[in-house]
Structure 1
Amino acid sequence: MSNRFIVVVLDSFGVGEMKDVAEVRPQDVGANTALHLLESSELKSWNTLIDLGLMNAIDTELPVFKKSSTAICGIANLKHYGADSFFGHQEIMGTNPKKPLFSKLSEVIDDIEITLRNEGYQTKRIYKDGKEILSVNDCMFVGDNIETDLGQAFNVIGAIDLCGFDEIKNVGKIVRGQVKVARVIAFGGSGVSYQNLVDNIKVFDEYIGVDAPGSGVYKANYHVVHLGYGVDEKVQLPYQLHKKGVDCYFYGKVADIVINPSHHNYSCVDSSECFEKLLDDIRKKKDGFYCLNIQETDLAGHAQDVKRYVDRINLCDQYLNKIISELDTNDILLVCADHGNDPTIGHAKHTREKVPLLIYTPNLKDVSLTIGERDTLADIGATVAEYFDCQIQYGTSFLPLLKKKENHYE
């Protein structure tokens, strides 16, 4: 008999705007990713998701798509600020996210430089268009992230051949301790020279950073770690499960943005490839926590491509049915999202939406149960933790609701 808890995150597959949207993100008013996709003219094959309770989570019915009478489901609100994949996944893993600040390198460069020098690093400032960026040991730079919304993140970008990734990561941790932006992203690649980094320094308004794609760091031996504000991996689900002796298996984007001490990580973007690897593993392994992120849905949202988004959900629906066919009696499958990305809302950014919680376990086949509206995605992590008889710092488990129903059902 196996004991497997499988979480499939359909990235950006939200089910309706949160109550605070009008106040904090008025551009997202009216967002409902799943519903607007269902209302589109594209051909949909979502039988598994409908059976799992997608319409129950949206709390509506359409002529062809009805609520399920045999679904275990609910919804969850986002506790993290905004609508972000990185913080959504940290929240799922049990983090109580803090509200980050927006900042630019010029505001904190002095503190960062002093701290790095105190830690034994050599630094110098390089100037361009009246702005200054911080060079460290002639092999990496600390600068603004110029590839995302300005002010949200700092980059530590380095030439791995010159310093190794551990050194880049260490500098990232030092910078993380000095700033309160949402993310410090420490990364690098091979085949990159220091001069490649220098030649790709760019200035945008008040921000200065290294153009990462132009520098070539993504081309070979790319390594990255995302360090979030207020995120302590030692209180998260993977760390606590690892202490308990439970292996964690990550697939897709989650393998890149959540620290997994079990080191069973399979980084990929192609949805079929991600699902096939997951299926291969659960056919071979009887125990463990499995988490898969499907990124192609989010990419379709950013592209405002309804047709592509529906096509990706069609594919996911087929694979979810295959996963269900592999489950043993005690196994649990949970399908959720991390935020919304409504391709019909009129902009190409994430939307602040509630997410579905769709649950299947053979122990409760053909049973109807609501787990209600949860305050945070961390309730997912807390539920997984209790399933494996351990605890995490934040979140409220809904496993007792399943156990109570199971006992009554029997």
Structure 2
Amino acid sequence: MAKFVVVVLDGFGVGEMPDVTDTRPQDCGANTAVKLLDHFPLKRLPTLEQLGLINITGLTRSVMQPSPCANWGTAKLAHYGCDTFMGHQEIMGTLPKPPMIKPFQESIDSIEHALKQEGYPTERITRGPLQLLMVKGCVVIGDNLEADLGQVYNLTANFNQISFDEVKQIAMVVRGANAVSRNIAFGGFIPSMDRVFSAIETKTDQQGKLAYIGVNAPDSGAYDEGFQVVHMGFGVDAHTQTPHQLAKVGVPTYLYGKVADIVLNESGTSYTSVVDTDQIFSLLLHDLDQRQGFFCANIQETDLSGHLQDPKRYWQVLEKADRGLAATIDTLNPGDVLIVMADHGNDPFIGHTKHTREQVPLMLFSPGVAGIPIGYRDTLADIGTSAAAFFGASPPESGRPLQVLRKLEQERHSFQLNAKNKLIQ
């Protein structure tokens, strides 16, 4: 067995998707990587330079240069919008389904009916013309106000009054009664429900009409003590994804950081609720030193810096990640693979605080493999499919394996066969 490592620099896009003019005009001109390189022209990211970052971006004002040894390419987003959750489901081999965009107001009746059918007591909370739904007096359901409006519903719970396990049961009922792209169930030990009620906000649609109502998650107190969360995506079947396919053939799987929070990895090891970049790499390096299998780590602090529109912080996180990648490369043996990529963009210069719909970099490192083009891929799922093919597992539902990995797999099988023959002799 070998090591197949994926490091996702969350939000580190390399230029707007071709469809942004029609689908997300606010992202026109987005290019997270190029703008950061231009903004810090005298600074270097030596590992990313070696891996081919400038090969991907083209020459910028940066002192960094293309690498003749790099194996590089790019990938488009196949999922709608630019969502971390769906981006990682896509990386794991999911074929993204077109999501429904629907304010919670248009789903409240069906969700309430489904909950009552299962015996859950509900009541409505009214703010002007809009209503939220409350279950058992301690779980409030409404629009997610931090994501693109209309695509995500939140369940905000007070764990002083209900267990997380029961919240997840309620969330399953809610998930079955709506078709927006994601439902998020979370909570914490909140001193009083008044804190949650005071965090209720309303927002307008593009025509200026009140259309969305939800709980402002940071203001609710849910993050302060005992925070737990589960993400439920529309049309996502974890049993078709790479971690499940690898588990069926006995390949260990390890997830770190936000990818562990949002991708189901029932048979593997998941390090959840880890955000700090150095800690992510510390956990990853510890496992790489002792284990083999499939490893996927999400570096979330790049994305958080984009949300803050803070280029300086973004670059500092990239410098940490660059050092972590260098240490990761030092753990790899011939036949092992490292892929560095992103899940979308988060341009800190764009002028808004949401993700940007950008293509992502693909940089591949394997000892002794140099100068091979990865190409321009149509979906992030090519990475999950490549990992499955690398270990001889069944493919997930979407994606095409990278050609360079097929060559590596053939060489690895040939090496193993030769070694076996020598033992027999």
TM-score (norm 2): 0.89
Q: What per-residue deviation string (whole Å, max 9, x for no partner) do you get for residues 219-238 of structure 1?
A: 22211111112212221122
Q: What per-residue deviation string (whole Å, max 9, x for no partner) do you get for residues 1-37 of structure 1?
A: x511111001111112222222222222222211221
Residue 53 of structure 1 pairs with residue 64 of structure 2: no
CA distance in 2, matches of 1:336, 1:63: 20
Unaligned runs of 5+ in 1: none
Aligned to 1:395: 398
Aligned to 2:153: 154
Tell me by how many angstroms 1:269 deviates.
1.6
Question: Which has the higher mean CA deviation after the structures are superposed, 375-384 or 171-180?
Answer: 171-180
Verify the 8 A CA contact 2:154 2:185 in the aligned structure 1: yes
Aligned to 1:124: 123
Verify the 8 A CA contact 1:18 1:354 in the aligned structure 2: yes
Residue 274 of structure 1 pairs with residue 280 of structure 2: yes
Verify the 8 A CA contact 1:172 1:186 in the aligned structure 2: yes
Tell me by how many angstroms 1:191 deviates.
4.5
Question: Which has the higher mean CA deviation after the structures are superposed, 57-66 or 43-52?
Answer: 57-66
Aligned to 1:25: 24
Residue 371 of structure 1 pairs with residue 377 of structure 2: no
Verify the 8 A CA contact 2:254 2:270 in the aligned structure 1: yes
Aligned to 2:339: 334
CA distance in 2, matches of 1:91, 1:36: 26
Matches within 5 A, 1:300-319: 300-319=305-324
Question: Which has the higher mean CA deviation after the structures are superposed, 316-325 or 261-270?
Answer: 261-270
Verify the 8 A CA contact 1:140 1:159 in the aligned structure 2: yes
SS of corresponding position for 2:373: strand
Aligned to 1:68: 67
Give the 3 Å change call, closer, same or farther, for CA 110–324 of structure 1 in structure 2.
Answer: same
Residue 385 of structure 1 pairs with residue 388 of structure 2: yes
Letter in 2 for 1:175: V
Question: Which has the higher mean CA deviation after the structures are superposed, 96-105 or 202-211?
Answer: 202-211
Letter in 1 for 2:377: R
Letter in 1 for 2:66: K
CA distance in 1, matches of 2:218, 2:306: 22
Give the 3 Å change call, closer, same or farther, for CA 194–239 of structure 1 in structure 2.
Answer: farther
Letter in 1 for 2:388: A
Verify the 8 A CA contact 1:192 1:217 in the aligned structure 2: no
Give the 3 Å change call, closer, same or farther, for CA 117–47 of structure 1 in structure 2.
Answer: same
Letter in 2 for 1:251: Y
Question: Which has the higher mean CA deviation after the structures are superposed, 220-229 or 145-154?
Answer: 145-154
Aligned to 2:419: none
Q: What per-residue deviation string (whole Å, max 9, x for no partner) do you get for residues 249-297 of structure 1?
A: 2222212222221242242221111111111121122x12111111111
Aligned to 2:303: 298
Unaligned runs of 5+ in 2: 204-209, 416-425
CA distance in 2, matches of 1:319, 1:393: 29
Q: Quote the RMSD (CA, aligned, Å).
A: 2.3
SS of corresponding position for 1:8: strand
Verify the 8 A CA contact 1:108 1:179 in the aligned structure 2: yes
Verify the 8 A CA contact 1:140 1:157 in the aligned structure 2: yes
CA distance in 1, matches of 2:397, 2:365: 24
Question: Which has the higher mean CA deviation after the structures are superposed, 226-235 or 388-397?
Answer: 388-397
How many pairs are equivalent?
406
SS of corresponding position for 2:107: helix
Question: Which has the higher mean CA deviation after the structures are superposed, 34-43 or 71-80?
Answer: 34-43
Residue 323 of structure 1 pairs with residue 322 of structure 2: no
Residue 221 of structure 1 pairs with residue 220 of structure 2: no
Letter in 2 for 1:310: W
SS of corresponding position for 1:382: helix
Tell me by how many angstroms 1:200 deviates.
4.0
CA distance in 2, matches of 1:173, 1:163: 16
CA distance in 1, matches of 2:293, 2:190: 37
CA distance in 2, matches of 1:408, 1:278: 26
Aligned to 1:82: 81
Aligned to 1:139: 138
Letter in 2 for 1:378: A
Give the 3 Å change call, closer, same or farther, for CA 297–214 of structure 1 in structure 2.
Answer: closer
Q: What per-residue deviation string (whole Å, max 9, x for no partner) do you get for residues 282-330 of structure 1?
A: 1122x12111111111122222222222222122111111111111222
Tell me by how many angstroms 1:199 deviates.
4.8
Q: What per-residue deviation string (whole Å, max 9, x for no partner) do you get for residues 150-194 of structure 1?
A: 322111122223321122112212212222222111112224444
Letter in 1 for 2:276: D
Q: What per-residue deviation string (whole Å, max 9, x for no partner) do you get for residues 112-134 of structure 1?
A: 11111111212222333343222
Give the 3 Å change call, closer, same or farther, for CA 188–61 of structure 1 in structure 2.
Answer: closer
Verify the 8 A CA contact 1:46 1:313 in the aligned structure 2: yes
- Identity across matched positions, percent: 48
